[in-house]
Structure 1
């Protein structure tokens, strides 16, 4: 059989070989496993509806909520604790706290119970001088505690639903039915809120002005969101509870950014291992911290008691009125 002959190019016209990186296949560039996983993700994405595609993308970023769901959640949290000169729930990270709770079991040690005994927000005391030292403990609050079998079962039922966790439905019949999972409760609740906003106001809930957001949330709270049989709480009830937890709990749980929620309440958060009075071997006694003397009504009010905010004043007046009414009732 006669061989085909191709014309030879002059030496100066012979193309240079492509750089090695350009000759590699995708499988070589990424590694076989990564390439197969990537192809699988693409094929899966092509087969998914758009909403589920967004959830796959969110999960790939280590998130639970899609961008639209997160925007709706942040707007809802902000209506629970709006900014008014002080930071609101959005700035305090309430939505991040909620998402961290709902994805607690995405990690080897579930993010349920923070460890201890100390964070690194305060230094160790220097007992030789009775003053703060330059050494700080590591933030042990970031090392979460492993759950017992019973705790794991209970918290998985809380997040996923008792009928979705093997062994968790043993009490459903006596308790009035399955325990709804918080993850699905948030999925459904956010969808209802955003759908109502688009139907009632023609825009996504997060894009509406605050007065329209309040009106929609109030309407849904009175008509659509009803308490479930197990918790006795509606979606709005759960949202309020988690928003407040996210604003004022330990920052290690995902909210209360930079401890600003504590500052909003006039709290300093955890104070150990330093404390407010330090034992001094030099004086053989306890010394007050000059910046936080224990002999004052409040350790951080060196210049005298601070005036309450208008909200704090109203709360105080309400408490006093209630106490007076109770006293008169029992006195009569």
Structure 2
């Protein structure tokens, strides 16, 4: 998946030139600190989805939490900001299928032929969520997010098994899209909206975007003592 392109406060050209002249500490103290602080301030604000509507966003929060639930090992999808990650992801070229071959004919065939639907990820989510909501209201009398976890799991299991067809979208295809993006949101760099507080990396013991690991090469079995760090400089 192509990474999302974050909007960052770039250092002024003058600061960049000064850095080339040997005053890199100026940029480290001003430019880097400013955009890191800006990212931290943005993360502290309540997130307002820009692609999903309120009902769709509640579905993403609820469904991703069942796919990646909180347990004794660490936080779940909701605490990790997975829904925010997916919403941000829907604004990228990947979600619009800009690098996909999307000309027909669209015919279902053997699995080794790959993806054969005329829908890019944005379409899969719109059509898939609408289909799940229709299914749950028919069979349970409520929207997905309002169901107890046991019934939510039943629906997700049915989607994974392919026993539910969501109008134009096969249930299994929608399930795989959601599961893939949920895992990406749990373990991507926090710069892209998920892995909030680096909770996913902390759970794995993954060091993140540290530049130098030479002190720990060939130390088999030795625990890595440093907390993970984001591209932005955020640490757990």
Q: Report deviation, 1:253.
A: 2.1
Match of 1:183 in 2: 122
The 1:174–1:217 alpha-carbon spacing in structure 2 relative to 1, beyond 3 Å, is: closer
Give the Cα–Cα distance (whole angstroms) in 2 for the partners of residues 71 and 174 of structure 1. 31
Residue correspondences, number:
168
Task: Assess if the C-alpha contact under 8 Å between 2:69 and 2:77 holds in 1.
Answer: yes
Query: Are 2:202 and 1:214 aligned?
Result: no
Find the counterpart in structure 1 of residue 50 from structure 2: 63
Moved over 6 A (4+): none
Distance 2:117 2:129 in 1: 21
Aligned mates of 1:196, 1:174 — CA distance in 2: 25
Q: Which residue of 2 aligns with 1:75?
A: 62
Residue 92 of structure 1 contacts residue 261 of structure 1 at CA under 8 Å; is this kept in 2? yes
Give the aligned partner of residue 80 of structure 2.
92
For residue 175 of structure 1, report the CA deviation from its aligned partner.
8.1
Gaps of 5+ in 2: 1-47, 109-115, 227-236
Q: Distance in 2 between matches of 1:205 and 1:241?
A: 20
- 8 Å CA contact 2:49–2:84 kept in 1: the answer is no
Correspondence 1:28-47 to 2 at 5 A: none
Change (3 A) 1:218 1:295: closer
The structure whose Rg is larger is: 1
Q: Secondary structure at the match of 1:197?
A: helix
Q: Post-superposition shift, 1:62? A: 6.3
CA contact (8 A) 1:246 1:254 kept: yes
Alpha-carbon shift at residue 295 of structure 1 (Å): 4.1
Q: CA 1:155–1:298 in 2, change beyond 3 Å: closer, same or farther?
A: farther
Sort the Cα spacing of 1:261 and 1:223 in 2 relative to 1 into closer, same or farther, 3 A: same
Among candidates 194, 199, 221, match of residue 297 of structure 1:
221
C-alpha RMSD of the superposition: 3.3
Q: Distance in 1 between matches of 2:179 and 2:64?
A: 8
Q: Is the 8 A contact 1:72 1:206 kept in 2?
A: yes
Tell me how far apart the structure 2 counterparts of residues 225 and 244 of structure 1 sit (CA, whole Å): 23
- Cα 1:206–1:265 shift into 2, 3 Å: same
Per the alignment, residue 224 of structure 1 pairs with: 164
Instruction: Please give the TM-score of this superposition, normalised by the length of structure 2.
Output: 0.60
The question of whether the paired residues in 1 share the 8 Å contact of 2:97 and 2:121 is answered with: no
Q: Secondary structure at the match of 1:88?
A: coil
- Cα drift, residue 187 of structure 1: 0.6
Partner of 2:194 in structure 1?
255
- Higher relative CO (Cα under 8 Å, sequence separation at least 6) belongs to 2
Q: Which runs of 5+ in 1 are unaligned?
A: 1-60, 106-111, 113-151, 163-168, 278-287, 303-332
- Give the 5 Å matches for 1:140-159: 155-156=97-98, 158=100
Q: Which string of whole-angstrom CA distances, capped at 9 and with x for unpartnered residues, describes residues 160-214 of structure 1? A: x82xxxxxx2xx3498765421111101111121222222222221111110101
Give the 3-state SS of the residue equivalent to 2:87 in structure 1. Answer: helix
